[in-house]
Structure 1
Amino acid sequence: MVYSAWTTALAGAAVCLILMLVIMPGLIRYLHRIKFGQTEREEGLESHKKKNGTPTMGGIAFILVPVLVYILGSFFLPDMALNQNILIVLLAYVGYGLIGFLDDYIIVVKKDNAGLSPAAKFTLQAVLAVIFFLIYRSGSSTEIWIPLINRYIDLGWAYFLLVVLMFTAETNAVNLTDGIDGLCAGLMIIALVPFTVFACLQHQYPVMVLIVMVAASLLGYLKFNLHPARIFMGDTGSLALGGFIAATAMVLKQEILLVVIGFVFVAEVLSVIIQVTHYKRTGRRIFRMAPLHHHFEKGGMSETAVVTRFWLAGILFALAGLLLYFL
């Protein structure tokens, strides 16, 4: 069974990668033509001002390609079944992508970076998290697995709060990380590797297949997003990816390891929280600029150097997550 699943996963990944490489040039030209371009903040880094006009909403491609290929394959291949776990992950991927699309659309039309208000965005994210919890709760337990001690603890209805926190925090963390060419997509590909292993070892082969297909689609997108980026994923892509990995962690019962594996995303959002809180209290900044990747840029490090170092950190945390899983 595992060999069949890996054959399906690799075949699906190849199809997704090829489709992305074929689709992306045309999508970039189309977004250029309709002027769906990035608008950099006035208070942003000077080196980023040249990114104005670069097409955004590229996340549409790496959402639709694996989702449509998977759904089509589900009619023919048992390793691509549409079970409850897969439906939750697919709904999270598309649902949070739609929230991001709405945010991007407002930004593009108004030509500023305001988009959805934080309250509206948070509310929509929380509502989706509640829906996923209710679907998941109907057929699964509210237990979480604790690494190191290898025990399950039943949180009961407190699991509901964990799910809402996990989805809203992860989507916003991934969103904040998408600020440098190639950073977010590369980190997400790295973070998805351990979850592929977890899904395989748990015999959740449909989930494993979907993860591999999404990673392959991201790899195709990354070719066009590396510095100097020809396209950005926008909130469409970043919110979708945050929802995807949060849902994957939930159905694989790896909620705690999500924090470890995705700690670079966590560090990014923590840097913003720390910066804002400290500035309101003291009027001084801890970081040169937040999120964290801008702190290093502001210190003179090039985009590519920051991305490389953050990717290396992502690999270390991914390995740490794998190690904790097997201990």
Structure 2
Amino acid sequence: MSDYKDIIRVIVVSFIITLILGPLLIPALKRLKVGQSIRKEGPKTHYKKSGTPTMGGIIIVIALLITVLTTGLFNQDMKVLILSTIGFGLIGFIDDFIKVVLKRSLGLKAYQKLIGQIALAVILAVYQSNNSILGTKIIVPFINGTIDLGMLYVPFIAFVVVATVNSANLTDGLDGLASGVTLIILSFFSLIALNMGMNSVAIFSAALGGACLGFLKHNSYPAKVFMGDTGSMALGGAVAGIAVLLNLPLIIPIVCGIYFAEALSVIIQVTSFKLTGKRVFLMSPLHHHFEQKGWKETKVVTVFWIVTVVLCLIGVYSLS
């Protein structure tokens, strides 16, 4: 049975491993010349970031694996969460590899990403529907009840998972933004999982949270390394997997509100431009809009962190 001491221990171990891995792997990424290219239409303040090593999500994933494999809680749920994290992270890694190593700017084609993402999401949904004590039921926040989705469970969960992964990917655009927001979200899930008696999920969430905390040492402004799609998709896959195993997919739009605000801003921007030729935002995703309004990068990141803390508190209230 895990308790808060176990959670703290796991966070510290993962944090220290990430701190150690950074100075070892970041120079290696530099030698491999896997530098980030900055889009010309992006904020001018980002031009100086060109060449900063990317694919740093490898650091997070390695720290996570070392930590969870030594906890003694390597059960079926843990295996599924690792599959979700590494599976989505691998899609991101291939995309990064094509873009920064093979120098093909577009990376994987959209349909190629979607095929892999949907396959992983369906595996996650089928596993949970067959192994959860709730079956195809999911918990509804605020009403302390459940709803049985029946045949709609698998397609609904698959949609939520794919949406979460891609939203997390869009959030990774400023130094420390995705890693900091996800750290807060994982802290929420770790506490909720512990309260629900889902010990392996709580430990996994804590381990990944500790890795995100350690990664901030290397990724906060000015970033020495970016996580790349390798990291952002791995984090999105982990968060989605955790929510599904806790039967809480409906909590994602609340606690992951920043993820979805970022994704929604892109959808609104593209739709508006195609239909009317006008843009709603100065630039999308949303964090770039605030930069264009004159906010410093560090201010945008701090505000988005604070908003995520508030959203997670609302999430706690919704389940009380």
Residues 149 and 15 of structure 1: CA distance in aligned 2, closer, same or farther (over 3 Å) = closer
Unaligned ranges ≥5, structure 1: 75-79
Q: Which residue of the other structure, out of 71, 81, 96, is the alignment partner of 1:104?
A: 96
Distance 2:53 2:159 in 1: 31
4+ residue segments displaced more than 4 Å: none
SS at match of 1:138: helix
Whether the 8 Å CA contact 1:41–1:113 is kept in 2: the answer is no
Distance 1:276 1:66 in 2: 36
Distance 2:7 2:300 in 1: 32
**Amino acid in structure 1 at the alignment position of 2:93:** F
The aligned counterpart of 1:69 is: 67
Q: Which residue of the other structure, out of 210, 224, 237, is the alignment partner of 1:243?
A: 237
Q: Which residue of the other structure, out of 213, 223, 228, is the alignment partner of 2:222?
A: 228
SS at match of 2:139: strand
Residues 265 and 294 of structure 1: CA distance in aligned 2, closer, same or farther (over 3 Å) = same
Whether the 8 Å CA contact 1:9–1:210 is kept in 2: the answer is no
Whether the 8 Å CA contact 1:41–1:112 is kept in 2: the answer is no
Q: Does 1:183 align with 2:181?
A: no
Post-superposition offset of 1:49: 1.3
Post-superposition offset of 1:283: 0.2
Q: Does 1:192 align with 2:197?
A: no
Whether the 8 Å CA contact 2:122–2:155 is kept in 1: the answer is no
Post-superposition offset of 1:17: 1.2
Per-residue CA distance 1:87-116 (angstroms, 9 max, x = gap): 221110111011110000001124354111
Distance 1:134 1:325 in 2: 25
Distance 2:295 2:145 in 1: 43
Q: Which residue of the other structure, out of 140, 146, 150, is the alignment partner of 1:152?
A: 146
Compare 37-46 and 230-239 and name the one that shifted more.
37-46
**Amino acid in structure 2 at the alignment position of 1:129:** A
Residues 314 and 121 of structure 1: CA distance in aligned 2, closer, same or farther (over 3 Å) = same
**Amino acid in structure 2 at the alignment position of 1:238:** S
SS at match of 2:302: helix
Per-residue CA distance 1:150-207 (angstroms, 9 max, x = gap): 2111101201111111111001000000000000100001111221121011111111
Distance 2:40 2:34 in 1: 18
Q: Percent identity?
A: 41
Unaligned ranges ≥5, structure 2: none
Distance 2:66 2:18 in 1: 13
SS at match of 2:70: helix
Q: Does 1:315 align with 2:309?
A: yes
Residues 122 and 175 of structure 1: CA distance in aligned 2, closer, same or farther (over 3 Å) = same
**Amino acid in structure 2 at the alignment position of 1:16:** S
Using the size of structure 2 for normalisation, the TM-score is 0.96
Q: Counterparts of 1:165-314 in structure 2 under 5 Å?
A: 165-314=159-308
Using the size of structure 1 for normalisation, the TM-score is 0.94
Whether the 8 Å CA contact 2:16–2:214 is kept in 1: the answer is yes
**Amino acid in structure 1 at the alignment position of 2:44:** E
Post-superposition offset of 1:7: 2.9
Per-residue CA distance 1:40-85 (angstroms, 9 max, x = gap): 11222211111111000110111121113212332xxxxx2x2232
Whether the 8 Å CA contact 1:9–1:209 is kept in 2: the answer is yes
Compare 130-139 and 165-174 and name the one that shifted more.
130-139
